[in-house]
Amino acid sequence: MRLCDSVHVIDAAETLVASTGDLGLNEKSADRFQQQAETVVAARDAFMDVCREDLAYTARWWQVRRRIKERRFLREQASR
């Protein structure tokens, strides 16, 4: 996957693609498959976080309230 974006977004995308490619759908060991699936989910979450940060860099003054709610939501999600 090649994107025309900043380096950290491209890196996160490539990490996600690599971890998805390493997911063995025919894996016989449940523990190994669970570990691979958790790696994919972590890579996906990291990619989404990087994209959110990259897209939200031009917040206007009227978006301050939205940003506060967004940060509160992300903190709640991280604590789960």
Asked if 15 contacts 3 with a C-beta cutoff of 8 angstroms, the reply is: no
Residue 40 clears pLDDT 90, i.e. is over it? yes
Average pLDDT over residues 20-48: 89
SS3 3: coil
- pLDDT of the residue at 59: 57
Angle value at C-alpha 9, between 2 and 75, nearest 5 degrees: 145
24 to 10, 18, 41, 47: CA distances (angstroms): 24, 12, 14, 21
What does the pLDDT look like over 10-19, one tens digit per residue? Answer: 888 889 989 9
Higher-confidence position of 6 and 57: 6
Please tell me which residue, 27 or 46, carries the higher pLDDT value: 46
Query: What does residue 57 show for φ and ψ, rounded to 5 degrees?
Result: -75, -15
Q: pTM for the complete prediction?
A: 0.61
